[in-house]
Structure 1
């Protein structure tokens, strides 16, 4: 990854869910200078195991050769829909960075409680690996895991894209867009959930 490039682009993906069944995903392509030059949307089942396939599909639909990395707002979304970042990296050919914001002792116990006997979900979660604590220029810290990139690259990308608080801009914008789409679907019975 050429981090010195001014035109480095990240595909940031975040979710919003208020439905019992579906969660909306939004992907935002953002350059290092914070220009936005692409969007796409998807949906995953709440409590499902389809997030990995949907993120791969969104990346393929986006069809951008100029994206340098995928940044995800967490590795576990939509009520324990556990993402496999290694599979995303291998299929898309792009490094993947999963960002989270709170210290945690882990989710294995919660997964076993809510999904008894689902050892595949537990295994996928436990294979995610350790998170890095990354102080950003706002004086706060976030947590991140990187796949297909070095620890230095993970730290650098998180720092250059985090301007306020501790949420990197591509993820903050994607979350706002996903939330807006979710609100629209609740008020207009959009076919996105049919």
Structure 2
């Protein structure tokens, strides 16, 4: 991957949900020069176990051969629907960066409380491993889980795609689009 190339393309994925059974997913394809170059929408079950498959489908829906990377806002979305960055990377052939924004003791106790006896969900969460803190040149800190990419490259990409604050632009725009679609139609797909 040529990190300085202005045509480097990131598929940024974020979600938004309210009190419905489905959460809206938005994917924005953004070039390194911050031009938006594509978009797709999907959904995931709130409290379900379909996040990984839904994101793989969403990336497939783009029908793009020029993507260089997938960036996802978090590994636990839509009320404890845990995704697997390694599986997404294997299925798409693309590196995956999952970004979060707060230090945390983890969600293991919350998962056990809300989903007692759900060993598959808990094991998937445990397999995510620890997050790695990364300082951005904006002065903010983000936390990364990675698949198919090293910390240096992932941090460089996140830093270059973050104009201010701590949210990389592909994720900021995807989140805005997911919220707008959710408010306008209630859900996608």
Normalised TM-score (structure 2): 0.97
Show the counterpart of 2:60: 60
**Counterpart of 1:14 in 2: which secondary structure?**
strand
Is structure 2 residue 40 aligned with structure 1 residue 40?
Answer: yes
Show the counterpart of 1:104: 104
Counting matched residue pairs gives: 189
Is structure 2 residue 28 aligned with structure 1 residue 6?
Answer: no
Show the counterpart of 2:185: 185
> Residues 133 and 142 of structure 1 are in contact (CA less than 8 Å); yes or no, is this contact kept in structure 2?
yes
Is structure 2 residue 76 aligned with structure 1 residue 94?
Answer: no
Normalised TM-score (structure 1): 0.95
Show the counterpart of 1:160: 160
Which structure 1 segments of 5+ residues have no match? none
Aligned-pair CA distance for 1:137: 1.6
> Residues 137 and 163 of structure 1 are in contact (CA less than 8 Å); yes or no, is this contact kept in structure 2?
no
Deviates more, 1:71-80 or 1:14-23: 14-23
| Whole-angstrom CA distance in 1 between matches of 2:131 and 2:180 | 30
Aligned-pair CA distance for 1:20: 2.9
Aligned-pair CA distance for 1:154: 1.1
| Whole-angstrom CA distance in 2 between matches of 1:64 and 1:20 | 30
Which structure 2 segments of 5+ residues have no match? none
Is structure 2 residue 138 aligned with structure 1 residue 143?
Answer: no
- Root mean square deviation of aligned Cα: 1.1
Aligned-pair CA distance for 1:7: 1.1
